[in-house]
Amino acid sequence: MAATQRRSPLLVTVSTGLVLLWIVVASFPFLWTLWGSFKVQADFFSLADWRNALRGTFTIAQTGSNFTGQGYHGAWVQEEFWRTTLNTFIVVFSVVVISLTFGTLGGYALARSGFRYTFWLLMIALVFRAMPHITLVSGYLLPFFQWNVWGHLPTAIIVLVAINQPFTLWMLHSFFLNIPKDLDESAMVDGCTRFQAFRHVIVPVMWPGVITTGLFSFLLAYNDFAVTAMLLSQQNQTMIPKIASFLGSTQVEGNVMFAVAAVVSATAPLFVLILFFQRQIVSGLTAGAVKG
Amino acid sequence: MKHRTFFWFIFPSALAMILFIALPVVSVFIQSLHVEHEQVLRTVENCGPFGCEEETIVDREATRELREAQPLGRFAGFSNYTDRNHLATEEIRSMWERSDSFADFTRRAMTLPFWRAMAFTLTFTFVVTPLVLILGLAIALGVNSLPRIFRGPTIFVSLLPMIVTPLIGSLVLYWMVDSRGVLGSFLQTIANDPELSLRASPTLTWIMLIVYGVWSSAPFAFIVFYAGLQTVPEEPLEAAMIDGANRWQRVRYVVIPHLMPLAIFITLMQLMDNFRVFEPIVGFQAQASATSLSYNIFNYLRGDAAQFGAAATTSMLTIFGVVVLLTPVLIRTWRDFNRKRH
């Protein structure tokens, strides 16, 4: 905005101060937890003096050095966090691939069909999007017990795909609306069927939108707690329910540090994600807003 | 696009949604009309040296068989909806009659699980949403006036609280405000009260959860508003400056009207997301002071003695709440759609 050239120094100070404050509020909790994950419990949850966490008094006393990997060792080796990481990877990868496949087909159809029912489908999807996931989970449990499909990874995957569909459809629908109709219609004039036109003309140009939508599908599957906590058995557990299960045993010395280390480990992939895909995430957040 | 082609394109997606969203809602509704079987009781006669006496015992075998034969439980009609754990119509009426003031009535009603959860869910939704809008706009205006090179890193840092898993985000904050954590001990020093613990006080727990809600959602509003600020037209701003508008007036009369559609979009998203508040209560272990509708459902389903009937009833009431919340939006969209067609 060129209009903001002449500003009072007071205003500059206030707005810069606000932004600085926000940066601290947004990042400090993560930095603090990262720092604390290399300490022992007596330091990170200090009864006597919070500065112990900085000085590492007990960490030095107990382990001989200022930083310790005990929490990580406990979580990854002793509590087998790697197993849940593997499960999370399988679930997240499958959910992203399947929901993008379904979503691109559906979103393309919704964007190209001018009939009234497309509007109703989108409205129903909006209501589905708003429903708390746990309400659906209460509907799954009894049937899943009866059909003997409870506890398996594929069950959780297909459920997450379904829960993810409303959002994916909306996002890809608004994205496909931005791809000119002439592209696929001219292909059809040349004799392609609708599917061939989609396959050969639309697919090559749709990747930016698909990647953006994929990021959000990834987040939904990765961040899910309600579905995976209720639908997966102990040996098929994913990361987030596992972290929640560490919490049940925080009274025992050391165990809460497993949770801290696991939390830091589970945040790392998200950090990397923002590092590489910041632009896509921002454009994805605003896509729905700007296009209505 | 022909109906037939449309059908095949939408088929996988629609099938997934029908099977795992629409049908579960039906299943939830049916479950909500049932309650768990009571234990089968049997009277046996115990004869000892001093005569016989009748005793009632639980027939475990028969109970188990009955539960396996009819896992849904027994049909109970709408009694689940009116019982003490849900709408509690009887209890509310008698509380209303016995209470001498409105405050007293509220205090009593807060002992009912459903209304307690409802009170927190609504407070959370309607406090966090406006705060997120205000804070998001303030940060967006602040970042927009920064030199360009600082904007990218600021957005990077801001994305973290929003993108991080809700359970993880709430744990990270919880460990800090824990009475042994860094902020917790800081507050104890300020308040000069070594016993001060945020968890012990319901009011502070509610505030803590709301702070978490704002912290994790403000980036969303910030990003959307920031994107909107990039498209504010120049001419009205310059015209306003020529007319002598100061900066605040320009924001008030030019920028904010331009951002209005975005604010509506954020409000809609926030209402939907905040209404299902759940993970923070698990993360902050706040269930003693604050429960939400989603948390209640989770709690009914958890453990060996899952109460499917109660969970399903709360779910139906929650879905009803979501529909009520969305009705204005749906009506508005319907009008827009019709206007576009005609």
**pLDDT 10s digits, A139-153:** 999 899 889 999 999
Average pLDDT, chain A: 87
At A291, the pLDDT band (50, 70, 90 cuts) reads very low
Residue type at B51?
Answer: G
Say what the pLDDT of residue A69 is. 87
Say what the pLDDT of residue B320 is. 94
Q: Which of A1, A291, A172 is nearest to B261 (CA)?
A: A291
Q: How far is B318 from chain A (nearest CA, A)?
A: 8
Q: What is the residue extent of each domain of chain B?
A: 39-74, 79-111, 114-317
pLDDT for residue A292 is more than 50: no
Q: How far is B83 from chain A (nearest CA, A)?
A: 19
pLDDT above 70 coverage of chain A, percent: 93
Say what the pLDDT of residue A289 is. 55
Residues in chain B within 8 Å Cβ distance of A202:
none
SS3 of residue A50 by DSSP:
coil
Task: Answer yes or no: are the C-beta atoms of B142 and A18 closer than 8 Å.
Answer: yes
Residues in chain B within 8 Å Cβ distance of A125:
17
- Interface contact A112, partner B, CB < 8 A: yes
Q: Provide CATH 1.10.3720.10 ranges for chain A.
A: 75-291
Which region among A74-83, A126-135, B45-54 has the lowest average model confidence (pLDDT)?
B45-54
User: What's the predicted TM-score (pTM) here?
Assistant: 0.90
Which class does domain B114-317 fall in?
Answer: mainly alpha
Residues in chain A within 8 Å Cβ distance of B143:
19
pLDDT for residue B47 is more than 70: yes
Say what the pLDDT of residue A253 is. 61
Euclidean distance between CA atoms A217 and A215, whole angstroms: 5
User: Do A110 and B157 count as a contact with CB atoms less than 8 A apart?
Assistant: no
Residue in A19, A136, A281 closest to B21 by CB: A136
Identity of the highest mean pLDDT range in A57-66, A165-174, B174-183: A165-174
| DSSP, res B232 | -
Which region among A205-209, B41-45, B272-276 has the lowest average model confidence (pLDDT)?
B41-45
Q: Which two tokens stand for residue B144?
A: 């927009």
Say what the pLDDT of residue A3 is. 43
In the block, which residue shows the tokens 């205090």?
B107
Euclidean distance between CA atoms B218 and A43, whole angstroms: 31
Higher-scoring residue by pLDDT: B205, A292: B205
At A265, the pLDDT band (50, 70, 90 cuts) reads very high
Q: Where are the alpha helices (DSSP H) in chain A?
A: 9-36, 41-44, 52-55, 57-63, 70-73, 81-112, 116-130, 133-147, 153-177, 181-189, 194-197, 207-223, 226-231, 239-247, 255-291
pLDDT for residue B55 is more than 90: no
Q: In terms of CA atoms, which chain A residue is nearest residue B263?
A: A289
Q: How far is B128 from chain A (nearest CA, A)?
A: 17
- Interface contact A61, partner B, CB < 8 A: no
Residues in chain B within 8 Å Cβ distance of A274:
156, 159-160, 163
Say what the pLDDT of residue A4 is. 46
Q: How far is B86 from chain A (nearest CA, A)?
A: 15
Could you tell me which residues come within 8 angstroms of residue A16 by beta carbon, excluding any fewer than 6 positions away? B142, B145, B146
- Interface contact B237, partner A, CB < 8 A: yes
> Can you tell me the mean pLDDT for A89-118?
93
Task: Render pLDDT for A15-60 as a digit per residue (tens, 0 to 9).
Answer: 889 999 999 999 999 999 999 999 888 888 877 777 778 888 888 8
Residue in B155, B228, B269 closest to A278 by CB: B155
Euclidean distance between CA atoms B36 and B27, whole angstroms: 15
| DSSP, res A78 | I
Task: Answer yes or no: are the C-beta atoms of B298 and A136 closer than 8 Å.
Answer: no
Chain B, 1-20: which have a CB under 8 Å from a chain A CB?
A: 1-3, 5-6, 9-10, 12-14, 16-17, 19-20
> Can you tell me the mean pLDDT for B155-182?
90
- Interface contact A219, partner B, CB < 8 A: yes
Which class does domain A75-291 fall in?
Answer: mainly alpha
Q: How far is A11 from chain B (nearest CA, A)?
A: 10
> Can you tell me the mean pLDDT for B110-138?
94
Say what the pLDDT of residue B128 is. 97
| DSSP, res B36 | P
Residue in B25, B159, B262 closest to A139 by CB: B25
> Can you tell me the mean pLDDT for B154-160?
92
CA A55 to each of CA A40, A51, A66, A67, A290: distance values in angstroms, whole numbers, following the listed order: 12, 6, 8, 10, 49
Task: Render pLDDT for B247-277 as a digit per residue (tens, 0 to 9).
Answer: 888 888 888 888 888 898 899 889 989 999 9
User: Do A243 and B9 count as a contact with CB atoms less than 8 A apart?
Assistant: no
